[in-house]
Structure 1
Amino acid sequence: MKKIFISISVFALTLANAQQKNETLMKEFEKQRIENNKKFDAYVAKRYGSNKNPETLKEIDELKTSLAGFTDSNKPYFYKVHDMDQIKNSNSDYLQGGNITGLTGSFNGENIKFTIFDGSTVSGNARVYANHTLFNNAPGRITNKESSNLNYGDHATAVASFIGARDFPYTFPQNGRQVNFKGIAPNCTIDAYSFGNSILQGETTSKNVFEKILTAQPNISNHSYGISAGWDVIEVNNTQAWGWHGSFTPSNTTYDMQGSYILNDRLYDLLVYSDPSYIIIKSAGNSFGMGSNAYLPATANFKKYYVNTGSWVEFATTDTPPAVNCAQGYDCISPGSVAKNIISVAASDRITANNGRYIASADVIHSSYSSAGPRDDGGIKPDITAVGTNVASATTGNDSVGSNGVAIGSGTSYSAPIVTGIIGLWTQINKQLFSGSLLNAASAKTLMIHSALEAGSNPGPDAQFGWGFINAKKGAELLVGKSNNTIIFNDEVLTSGTSNKKTVVASGSEPLKVTISWVDPEYPNVDNNTSLANLNNNRISKLMNDLDLRIIDASNNIVYLPWRLDYNNPLTALKGDNTVDNVEQVIVDNPVAGRNYRIEITNKGILRNNSNENAPQNYSIIVTGHSELLGTKDSKAGALSNLIISPSVTKDVTNILKAPKKSAFIIYDMSGKKLQSGTINSEKETIDLSTYTKGIYIIEIKTDNDIITKKVIKE
């Protein structure tokens, strides 16, 4: 995965250097400039017509100044003053700038530590160049845990910069492109390890990446590396070629493990199950389209090889080579990136329209190289998508000295750390709102998926984009909603044979949406001896504890089912019983305002831990699109069903009417701050709001079995 991404980057930079020296190319560029100007004039005439006021003329001049070229359909694209696309596209700038209602201050990774496991383009063992200019805004921002005799690595340094580079504007001399290298969390700290086998500082024996994870004990870690499982670029007799990394028996029998759940996946799942607070983010891979001689111009004449008794053998003309990776648009994700308890990240192109903002699902373009799932049992992988194409980063020489280099490149290696950084900012917000508490693996994934923006041509998740496009702002707003009780966002426990139920009243102003996720025990039946024939498209579910989420319309008992994928057609999501994912999401697109809907979480079979002992299952849940929560437990009495808040709009006081005696009430403002509380002693409990500022306040009423939240407006 990493290798092809770097090949793309090196190819682009090599071409840029050649352009400066080659007179023939300079003449070609001049010819292209003249043609572009003609196309631009035609574009202006079509878009603006003949009536151009001074503001329009100014806009046209600015566009012409930044004109970069045209797509095949003669649509222009433009350079931007600052290359902040990964930040703006993901709405992370709202968090960095302190522009989230209900939060205090800005969030740039202060007191958040990330851990990365990475390498270089030439070795799995390499360090981040900690003295790079892009990390010098505070001392000790990068701590290398590897031995000091290990070389610095370009790839590791780039990944660290996407998470934590400081604010640094720069103009690339090759093409005049202006960028800003600022990362998602520019004030964070990073512990850096290589993903290869190596001896850490102060130790005497070598460790692999899983052992290093145990040593590091991280809260959030990034893993931008992977395994070649289908076609990949190889070198035979000093010549680049396509190599098939599955098995092949002439003339047409082939097996591979693209999309397979392998030992590495089991180990990642085991690590998270053993420490449910641990959040792993991993790149999905850059294998899409590999094996095609049209993949890049440089691959046009590649020969094709497969392994026979340990050596590369060229396919014969009578052979039928395996299909190109993801030939049908899916099924080429890297094994090791399909574990249940991790977050696997796909890449999309930069959103350059709409001032860099997402407007509609069509704005999210699947990057041509980004590996697609699903897991072979139909599990939704990748989990999420972020921008990873044609983006700027730090780099360094792969040597013992290090250097202050910069580069532009592409890959899921570059989209994964964006998600890593955003989850770190959400963790920082969570700490502010909830007394320093961290997000755990299940709540982080639930938050990410519930807040994701729609991507792809069909509603719901799919095998290319996962659950959608990362949205930092919405995730932050959901955390604020949790703090002020306008949404449900809880960690809960399910016991075998029981049903966790809650009834909500739909607001009718948005879909009623429920998402749950849980840390599932690792699937046990894979090891290093599992054959490719047994791994290839193995459809056996890797889910150990199968939780079921449903929404039931209380007025007519219509049951709403979760999303799921069909592994034979995973680019279009279905709704039905999901038996493979440890995430379930149910949406009522057009709920009836004021109607009661019952949310039920149950399970199949017997819930067990990873020692195969009977055990309850923890899960995280988010509910949005409701105005009231009527009950969190089975309540035969329905004690709060008749409760009234009156008046709901007031200048001074409101009343809690018909609440059970000895029930408790709490008043919150919209930031989640607790303002007052008390016990209800009569059928009319008066609440004084006269000293509060104008705005919306939340009144929460609780009994032993029920809870209701109501809004009141202070004029």
Structure 2
Amino acid sequence: MKKHLLLVGTLAISMLSAQNNEGLKREFEKQNKENSAKFDSYVAKRFGNARNAETQKLITELRANLAGFSGDIPNFYQADDQNQIKNNNVDALTTAGGVNGLTTAFNGDGIKYTIFDGGRIYAAHEAFNNLPARITNKEADTNIHSSHATGVASIIGAKSSPLTSRDQNGNIVAQGNAMGIAINSTMDSYRFAQTTLPGSTTPTDVFAKILIAQPKISNHSYGVNPGWTYGTTSAGYPANAWYWNGNYISGNNYDQMGTYNLNDKQYDAIVYNNPSYTIVKSAGNYYNYGPGYQGTTTTSYYQTATGFQLYPAGAAPAANCAQGFDCIGYGSLAKNIIVVGATNVITTNNYKYTAATDVVKAEYSNAGPRDDGGIKPDISAPGTDIWMASTAETTAGSLSWQINSGTSMAAPQVAGIIGLWSQIHKTLFNNAELNAAASKTLMVHSALEAGNVGPDVWYGWGFIDAKKGAELLVGKSNNTVIFNNETLTNGTTNTKFVKATGGTPLKVTISWIDPEFTNITNMWDNLYNNRVSRLINDLDVRVTDLTTNTTNLPWKLNVENPMALATKGDNTVDNVEQVVIDNPIAGRTYKIEISHKGTLLNNAVPAAATPQNYSIIVTGHNEVLGTKESAANALSNLAIAPSITKDVTNILHAPKKSTFNVYDLSGKKLQSGNINSDKEAINLSSYTKGIYIIEVKTEKDVVTKKVIKE
């Protein structure tokens, strides 16, 4: 009967998601029509009626890559080695035994990525010939292959490909390996441009394509630049000069850098309706762009209703991110996606991270935050001088290689790692998926410190660490780590009690998929530096020391001074919250509370009250107590003695009729039984030397403890 109920519930969820997605498709079509009308007006003003074949070709390409508008000014999508694999510890996952508790190598078997990029991936490239049919192009064959898309795909999954670059005299100038992260994975390829897909008669934009593709993990190495861009006459600009993609109104300059806008709303709506979709996106490469950048011209233009105008002397705005922050474009500021900044490759200590100072921001990588103070980017990864596959940008394609830099190279590393984590999760948990909230929680909780202590506007929550994420999954399997998908109901507080290990931080991270923010109007006072929180459901995590009654608060940024160190306080803008107690007292009990402000809502029109799902990870504890009462009573006196043994240990003071399980560190259950006395003997003599987990359960509560077998 339970199986039948589960099937009915799953079917109902699938039907609801399909209904919601149909509503999104209609909304996207409406927005496309509005953008198309505005684009026609823009074309008439910029190009007039006298258009040669080359101009008409340019207009067609601009229309396909239209991303949105800053006021009436259009913005367009731009496509934003083994060493980086060592930097982010991927090699530990792809090597059998590289992670304690995992005996096999993980190479992306059974994992499919969906890549949205500038053109088709060159599927015949030798980078992908280790297995058949690794690349499936979903676009019509009339679309050209893309060097950028092919390179992104190779960063995710190229086979081992040692390469040497030589100068014109034959001298070696660079050597590397373009090996990807998930070398046995498969990939579907779409363009981010608006195109007509095979079997369809109407053009489809990238948001509708996501709904068609139904990706579990997708990479989006493209974005918009709503600040300064360099335009050339060959691209249809009046002069080789700098052009302001914002607005210049009555002597004031405005922009949509940091602005949560319609594209962000659309990404958030997609993930909210489809919480199994993990979307990874690049932060962009326009840091410090502006007149005079790297010796370029200082000539600059702004755009008006009648065309381009030279800026008056002294009136042009400063370079993008001139103060070190605020140059991520809209579409890369959504709450429910993962946005990736780029770093230089770590070249010291055999390319391994040793300290936060090893991580150096790439000079081009855009910086956050979102205008309400929300943390963006979410994470950072190596993006400079990355070896990758390439191709001729023709319908035929060709085999070549290149070295490239950009957040476009960093994002697919994060997507690749999440795919390996998904493979591990499926292996450990009966093929269960790692959903979008859990992927982000795992990524944030396992991140290595970079830049300032805590989150910041250059690196987000830090530098991605594939190995630590895998270790947390192993910890989940053997009950040494709390890693759950949970639900918060309106008007309630979810509570946990843990005893700190001591000697290591007690860390709690939660994230949730938030409904899209809808109060967006195309008025500059609503768009520019709007500090109103984009959260709909504001969850809160608090950790209280029950001995001192001290409550510890999560990290937050100062929106008015984003370059300052993150502080700890009430975070009202992020759908990720993390509390860290650096020096908890060993054996002391801490209370973890997850609560909320206001009323939890869904994204229906009108919105209705609803429970909110979230993902949580807790580390730095060695006991879990389910409720305050159980902490004080049923399991409060539980002990395992001796904690180091050659053969037998004992469960002491457990309630009668409770049960026990014994696990190894891989999560494998070795034995179980009922507890019938105040001293229940557990025989470990037949097991190999190592650490084992003893779990004791009552009807309400569970406690886990470690024992060492000598």
Shorter chain as denominator, the TM-score bin is 0.7 to 0.9
Match of 2:241 in 1: 241
Q: Distance in 2 between matches of 1:258 and 1:109?
A: 36
Cα distance, 1:302 vs. partner?
Answer: 4.4
Residues 647 and 472 of structure 1, relative CA distance in 2, 3 Å threshold: same
Residues 633 and 436 of structure 1, relative CA distance in 2, 3 Å threshold: farther
Match of 2:253 in 1: 254
Match of 1:214 in 2: 211
Q: Which amino acid aligns with 1:524?
A: T
Q: Which amino acid aligns with 2:524?
A: L
Given that 1:148 and 1:201 are in contact with CA atoms closer than 8 Å, whether structure 2 keeps it comes out as: no
1:362-373 aligned at under 5 Å gives the runs 362-373=357-368
Cα distance, 1:316 vs. partner?
Answer: 2.2
Is 1:189 aligned with 2:186?
yes
Q: Which amino acid aligns with 2:494?
A: N
Structure 2 residue corresponding to 1:482, chosen from 476, 481, 499:
476
Match of 1:668 in 2: 663
1:418-433 aligned at under 5 Å gives the runs 418-433=413-428
Structure 1 residue corresponding to 2:159, chosen from 154, 166, 172:
166
Structure 1 residue corresponding to 2:369, chosen from 362, 367, 374:
374
> After the TM superposition, which of the residue ranges 237-246 and 344-353 deviates more from structure 2?
237-246
Is 1:89 aligned with 2:87?
yes
Is 1:514 aligned with 2:511?
no
Q: Distance in 1 between matches of 2:230 and 2:581?
A: 46
1:387-415 Cα distance to aligned partner (Å, 9 max, x none): 00111111111111101121111111110
Is 1:544 aligned with 2:536?
yes
Given that 1:258 and 1:332 are in contact with CA atoms closer than 8 Å, whether structure 2 keeps it comes out as: yes
Q: Distance in 1 between matches of 2:386 and 2:561?
A: 32
Cα distance, 1:506 vs. partner?
Answer: 0.9
Match of 2:455 in 1: 461
1:573-592 aligned at under 5 Å gives the runs 573-592=566-585
Cα distance, 1:484 vs. partner?
Answer: 0.8
Is 1:595 aligned with 2:588?
yes
Cα distance, 1:637 vs. partner?
Answer: 5.9
> After the TM superposition, which of the residue ranges 679-688 and 571-580 deviates more from structure 2?
679-688
1:206-243 Cα distance to aligned partner (Å, 9 max, x none): 11111111111110000011112111121245743211
Given that 1:662 and 1:681 are in contact with CA atoms closer than 8 Å, whether structure 2 keeps it comes out as: yes
TM-score, normalised by the number of residues in structure 2: 0.86
Match of 1:559 in 2: 551
1:35-114 aligned at under 5 Å gives the runs 83-98=81-96, 99-114=98-113
1:558-593 Cα distance to aligned partner (Å, 9 max, x none): 111100001111122111000000000001011111
Structure 2 residue corresponding to 1:392, chosen from 387, 391, 404:
387
Cα distance, 1:632 vs. partner?
Answer: 5.3
Q: Which amino acid aligns with 1:454?
A: E
Cα distance, 1:469 vs. partner?
Answer: 0.3
Q: Distance in 2 between matches of 1:85 and 1:234?
A: 34
Match of 1:500 in 2: 494
Given that 1:255 and 1:533 are in contact with CA atoms closer than 8 Å, whether structure 2 keeps it comes out as: no
Match of 2:354 in 1: 359
Is 1:326 aligned with 2:316?
no
Q: Which amino acid aligns with 2:311?
A: F
In the alignment of these two chains, the number of paired residues is: 619
Q: Distance in 2 between matches of 1:645 and 1:353?
A: 44
Q: Distance in 2 between matches of 1:384 and 1:422?
A: 12
Given that 1:255 and 1:536 are in contact with CA atoms closer than 8 Å, whether structure 2 keeps it comes out as: yes
Q: Secondary structure at the match of 1:620?
A: strand
Is 1:267 aligned with 2:266?
yes
Given that 1:654 and 1:686 are in contact with CA atoms closer than 8 Å, whether structure 2 keeps it comes out as: yes
Given that 1:446 and 1:621 are in contact with CA atoms closer than 8 Å, whether structure 2 keeps it comes out as: yes
Is 1:342 aligned with 2:341?
no
1:38-71 Cα distance to aligned partner (Å, 9 max, x none): xxxxxxxxxxxxxxxxxxxxxxxxxxxxxxxxxx
Q: Which amino acid aligns with 2:327?
A: C
Q: Which amino acid aligns with 1:513?
A: K
Q: Secondary structure at the match of 2:232?
A: strand
Identity of aligned residues (%): 59
1:105-124 aligned at under 5 Å gives the runs 105-119=104-118
1:157-182 Cα distance to aligned partner (Å, 9 max, x none): 11111101110111012352011110
Q: Distance in 1 between matches of 2:551 and 2:492?
A: 19
Cα distance, 1:281 vs. partner?
Answer: 0.2
Given that 1:351 and 1:357 are in contact with CA atoms closer than 8 Å, whether structure 2 keeps it comes out as: yes
Q: Distance in 2 between matches of 1:342 and 1:634?
A: 39
Q: Distance in 2 between matches of 1:483 and 1:673?
A: 8
Q: Which amino acid aligns with 1:504?
A: V
Given that 1:552 and 1:599 are in contact with CA atoms closer than 8 Å, whether structure 2 keeps it comes out as: yes
Q: Secondary structure at the match of 1:159?
A: helix
Match of 1:122 in 2: none
Match of 2:149 in 1: 156
Residues 402 and 302 of structure 1, relative CA distance in 2, 3 Å threshold: farther
Structure 1 residue corresponding to 2:307, chosen from 302, 307, 311:
311
Is 1:287 aligned with 2:286?
yes
Q: Which amino acid aligns with 1:403?
A: S
Q: Secondary structure at the match of 1:296?
A: helix
TM-score, normalised by the number of residues in structure 1: 0.85
Match of 1:605 in 2: 598
Given that 1:634 and 1:705 are in contact with CA atoms closer than 8 Å, whether structure 2 keeps it comes out as: no
Q: Distance in 2 between matches of 1:634 and 1:113?
A: 46
Given that 1:562 and 1:575 are in contact with CA atoms closer than 8 Å, whether structure 2 keeps it comes out as: yes
Q: Secondary structure at the match of 1:431?
A: helix
1:129-175 Cα distance to aligned partner (Å, 9 max, x none): 11112111111010000001111111111111110111011101235
Q: Distance in 2 between matches of 1:328 and 1:705?
A: 53
Q: Secondary structure at the match of 1:392?
A: strand
Cα distance, 1:315 vs. partner?
Answer: 1.1
Q: Distance in 2 between matches of 1:217 and 1:249?
A: 42
1:647-666 aligned at under 5 Å gives the runs 647-666=642-661
Q: Secondary structure at the match of 2:166?
A: coil
Structure 1 residue corresponding to 2:201, chosen from 197, 201, 204:
204
Cα distance, 1:633 vs. partner?
Answer: 7.0
Residues 633 and 208 of structure 1, relative CA distance in 2, 3 Å threshold: farther
Q: Distance in 2 between matches of 1:454 and 1:625?
A: 17
Q: Which amino acid aligns with 1:133?
A: E
Cα distance, 1:681 vs. partner?
Answer: 2.0
Q: Point out where structure 2 has 5 or more consecutive residues left out of the alignment.
A: 1-80
Q: Secondary structure at the match of 1:172?
A: strand
Q: Secondary structure at the match of 2:692?
A: strand
Q: Point out where structure 1 has 5 or more consecutive residues left out of the alignment.
A: 1-82, 120-125
Q: Distance in 1 between matches of 2:306 and 2:496?
A: 59
Given that 2:625 and 2:631 are in contact with CA atoms closer than 8 Å, whether structure 1 keeps it comes out as: no
Is 1:569 aligned with 2:561?
yes
Q: Distance in 2 between matches of 1:709 and 1:546?
A: 31
